Amino acid sequence: MNSNEMYEKMKAKLDRIVPDVELRYKAEIAVEINELKLQRNAVILGHNYMEPALFHSIPDFTGDSLDLSRKAAQTDKDVIVFCGVRFMAETAKILNPTKTVLLPAVKAGCSLAESITAADVRALKAKFPGVPVVTYVNTYADVKAESDICCTSSNAAAVVDSLHSETVIFLPDEYLAKNVARDTGKHIIFPTIAGRGVFDQVPESDQAAGEGTHSTNDLDYQLIGWRGRCEVHEKFTLKDIETVRAQFPDVAILAHPECSPEVTAAADFSGSTNAMIRFVQQSKAPHYLLLTECAMGDNVAAANPEKDMLRLCMVRCPHMNMITMEDTRDSLKFNRYIIEVPEEIRVKAYQAVDRMIKIS
Ligand code: 13P
Ligand code: SF4
Residue 199: is its pLDDT beyond 90? no
Beta strands in 220-354 (DSSP E): 223-224, 251-255, 269-270, 287-291, 308-310
Summarize pLDDT for 305-316 with one digit per residue, the tens: 999 999 889 989
Give residues (CB < 6 A) around ligand 2. Answer: 85, 110-112, 138, 230-233, 258, 293, 317, 319-320
Q: Which ligand ends up closest to the CA of 153? A: 1
Res 207: pLDDT: 43
Give phi and psi for 332, each to the nearest 5.
-75, -35
* Mean of pLDDT values over 297-312: 95
User: Which atom of ligand 1 has the smallest separation from the CA of 256?
Assistant: 3
* Mean of pLDDT values over 69-90: 97
Res 196: pLDDT: 67
Summarize pLDDT for 203-239 with one digit per residue, the tens: 434 444 334 344 566 678 999 999 999 999 999 999 9
User: Which atom of ligand 2 has the smallest separation from the CA of 230?
Assistant: 2
Give the residue from 61, 63, 156, 68 showing the smallest Cα distance to 356: 156
270 Cβ closer than 6 Å to some ligand 1 atom: no
Mean pLDDT of the chain: 93
**What does the alpha-carbon distance between residue 134 and residue 155 come to, in Å, rounded to a whole number?**
11
**What does the alpha-carbon distance between residue 219 and residue 309 come to, in Å, rounded to a whole number?**
45
User: Which atom of ligand 1 has the smallest separation from the CA of 273?
Assistant: 3
* Mean of pLDDT values over 113-136: 97
230 Cβ closer than 6 Å to some ligand 1 atom: yes
